[in-house]
Amino acid sequence: MSVNIFGQEATEEKAESARLSSFVGALAVGDLVKSTLGPKGMNKILQSASTGDINVTNDGATILKSIQLDNAAAKILVNISKVQDDEVGDGTTTVCVLASELLREAEKLVMAKIHPQTIVEGYRIASTAALQALEESALDHSSDTSMFREDLFNIARTTLSSKVLSQDKDYFANLAVDAVLRLQGSTDLDHIQIIKKVGGKLTDSYLDEGFILDKQIGVNCPKRLENAKILIANTSMDTDKIKIFGARVKVDSTGKLAELERAEREKMKDKVKAIASHGINCFINRQLIYNYPESLLAEHGIMTIEHADFEGVERLSLVTGGEIASTFDHPDKVKLGRCELIEEIMIGEDKLVKFSGVAAGQACTVVLRGSTTQMVDEAERSLHDALSVLSQTVKETRVTLGGGCSEMLMSCAVEEAARRVAGKKAIAVEAFARALRQIPMILADNAGYDSSDLVSRLRVAHYEGQRDAGLDMTKGTIASMRKLGVTESYKLKRQVVISASEATEMILRVDTILRATPRRLAADTTAARSIVKMKSDEDKTKAIGPHLVMAYSGEPGDTVYFAEYIERNLRLHQIRYLHELRPASAASWIRRALADSLRSRSPYAVNLLVGGFDNSSTAIEEGKEELGGAPKLYWIDYLGTLAEVPFAAHGYGSYFALSLLDRYHDPNATLEEGLATLKRCIDEVAKRLIVGNYNYKVKIVDKDGVREVSL
């Protein structure tokens, strides 16, 4: 007898259906990005649906981070691409394409009635043989300085050959090598600042020894300062109000107002004296420095730089050796930053601040120029990939050959291993070898050459002992990659094979996909002040993300302003970082914004509910019974208190609704049962309140996004 243990909206896919869904999603992701692979790969235009902003890129990680996916296997491929980007900095497209090709071969074997576990075991044998062949072919020239620098230069050229900087790859390869060698073996790229300035051409870019901050020196301050002692701070330099929580100051004359202003100025004077007591001659603040404190600091002979954003002060702290201070009562406990020279420089038509002779002598700045914003942004991504790969190569100094040489070498080794394997596993091992050969095949296809002919000739060359043979993408022939200088990082290639094979194994083991029941939120549509109804059609819910919705109650003006502020900033985050905040992160950030307003002159009187569907890889891993993700609900009050809850309510109606929800709430309820519970709560509110006749909006958030339903 078949028993359904799931709610009506919880879905389940089993066996072949689940496996087919996984294969289709993964193959679609691989097909999406494979046209960008190699030196002749094509670009993609990424256009924001909300703002219309565009990015032109062929970077695999950037493309995959910008698309919304509803397939679990596809998200796994996106995640391994992100890991590749974090670990090595390049190879994001290759790892995704290789994983999809391994799954394509596995799909054929599954259709031929070979069990997934047999395929997994064969793939494990094949990946071991491939990694062993890759390690045996790796070269290490770290003992020879000139040859190692040439290896780094060739790696940078190979990395940049598929980027927007390919026309000037020699110039930027030298620039990247010089920057990384300054790190003296460190992999901390925070010491390398990248400044983007639109104007000029790409080859106007240059490497500057020192740290450049994209800010301006304050008014009435010297534009040059030697032997700088720097206090880096994150503190409010606005006129300090005398704040008492929950109180308001009422004045009945201009004299009282002037007295209050004098008290505020005296507080600011004391604060500036405390700052000056550190014995500094330069004060850099993450927040604004207003006119009055700026003039006081100038009187003490202190140079000021304001509004150095979070990244700016963090990097300054790192390169100058100082600590970020927020209080100034104990000068002896604050570590100051130091540098030999601070000066104002011009790049194009913009003024910037340069720090020379910093404590971290390896710090440097790359100034990127270009004709358009899109060009400069893509140049930054390209250069960052090269810097990341080079910094890892300095640590793991072995190198391998590119141009499809390493993949063909591993493919031949895997085919040799298949001859020593008995049974159906040998078929899986051979399938792994065919998937590896797809990488040079795609390289040739993207360049417009006859891929079948080229790859077959390359395979023959390797079996004849030409272990450095690869594809010359300029001439469309087989050539020695060692002579052409087509070199790649050993760590990069190794990580590609490991990540792709592990992701493939994970997807092959899937036999069921479970998707959770969505959360439901409801809010009435009345805006009121005291007993006066201001509006009867206000939507007190707002979709603040593709899988996030916020409901609010409180003062009508506060609720609208705060909700719009949250919506704009979360949209800005999604545009800037190309991904949606998880519900937990969004709720935490909203709580922080509300708490910060309590310390301002005009706190928001707003109570909130934040509902969302967390479809991140972490949620999938944690939610064993909710494999497709997890619904989340957070309760936030006007004091900035945050709690994750199974159900919640705000407003006068919450006094009656919560007891009903406590009694009738069921996390596995169907949509109809959930709506019936909400209807029960609404009827109870209408019965209890003297003034009634409210309209309500009900919204659902699940894996498909946010949508409205009717009661």
User: Which of 52-56, 128-132, 660-664 is least confident?
Assistant: 52-56
Residue 625 has pLDDT above 60, yes or no: no
Lowest mean pLDDT among 223-232, 242-251, 687-696: 242-251
Question: Regarding predicted confidence, which is higher, 209 or 257?
Answer: 209
Of the residues 57, 62, 92, 541, which is catalytic?
92
Mean pLDDT of 409-430: 92
- Sequence-ordered list of residues with C-beta below 8 angstroms from that of 213, at least 6 positions apart, any chain: 305, 308, 312, 316, 352, 353, 354, 355
Domain boundaries, the chain: 11-140+400-512, 145-210+366-396, 211-360, 517-709
pLDDT number for residue 706: 86
327 is catalytic: no
pLDDT at 409 exceeding the cut of 90: yes
Averaged over 579-598, what is the pLDDT?
86
Percent of the chain at pLDDT > 70 equals 89
Distances 526 to 520, 535, 607, 694, 709 between C-alpha atoms, Å: 19, 6, 15, 7, 18
pLDDT at 12: 61
Among residues 59, 445, 468, 472, the one annotated as catalytic is 59
Question: What pLDDT score does 562 carry?
Answer: 86
Flag whether pLDDT at 211 surpasses 70.
Answer: yes
- Please pick, among 85, 151, 377, 385, the residue that the annotation labels catalytic: 385
Exposure pattern of 155-183 as b/e (b: 16+ CB <10 Å)? bbbbbbbbbbbeebbeebbbbbbebbbbb
**Percent of the chain as helix, strand, coil, to the nearest 5:** 50, 20, 30
pLDDT for residue 691? 59
Residue 127 confidence class, pLDDT cut points 50, 70, 90? very high
Is the pLDDT at 306 greater than 50? The verdict is yes
- The percent of residues in the chain predicted with pLDDT above 90, rounded, is 24
Q: Which fold has domain 11-140+400-512?
A: GROEL; domain 1 (1.10.560)
Mean pLDDT of the 139-159 span: 90
Min mean pLDDT across 5-9, 96-100, 188-192 is at 5-9
Q: Annotated catalytic, 526?
A: no
Supply 423's token pair: 């049974």
Q: For all residues of the chain together, what is the average pLDDT?
A: 84
One of 3.50.7.10, 3.40.50.1860, 3.50.30.30, 3.30.230.10 is the CATH number of 211-360, namely 3.50.7.10
In the residue annotation, 158 being an active-site residue is answered as no
In this prediction, residue 627 carries a pLDDT of: 44
Phi then psi for residue 85, to 5 deg, are -65, -40
pLDDT digits (tens, 9 = 90+) for 491-539: 999 999 999 999 999 888 887 766 666 666 566 555 554 444 445 567 7
- Predicted local confidence at residue 125, as pLDDT: 94
Burial code of 401-435, b = ≥16 C-beta within 10 A, e = fewer? bbbbbbbbbbbbbbbebbeebeebbbbbbbbbbbb
Residue 414 clears pLDDT 50, i.e. is over it: yes
Stretch 231-237: mean pLDDT:
87
> Rounded to the nearest 5°, which phi and psi values hold at 612?
-160, 170
Indicate if the pLDDT at residue 299 is higher than 80: yes
C-alpha to C-alpha distances, 130 to 48, 368, 398, 442, nearest whole angstrom: 40, 39, 16, 19
Task: Name the catalytic one among 36, 57, 62, 93.
Answer: 93
pLDDT mean over 317-346? 88
CATH code that applies to domain 145-210+366-396: 3.30.260.10
State the number of CA atoms in the 13 A half-sphere of 294 facing the CB: 17
Tell me what pLDDT residue 605 has: 84
Query: Between 1.50.10.10, 3.30.420.40, 3.60.20.10, 3.40.50.720, what CATH number should domain 517-709 receive?
Result: 3.60.20.10
Q: Which pLDDT band holds residue 11 (cuts at 50, 70, 90)?
A: low
Q: Is 53 a catalytic residue?
A: no
DSSP strand pairing (224-233 vs 282-285)? parallel
DSSP string, 676-709: HHHHHHHHHHHHH-SS----EEEEEEETTEEEEE
Q: Looking at residue 246, what is its pLDDT?
A: 45
Q: Of 172-176, 427-431, 513-517, 596-600, give the lowest mean pLDDT range.
A: 513-517
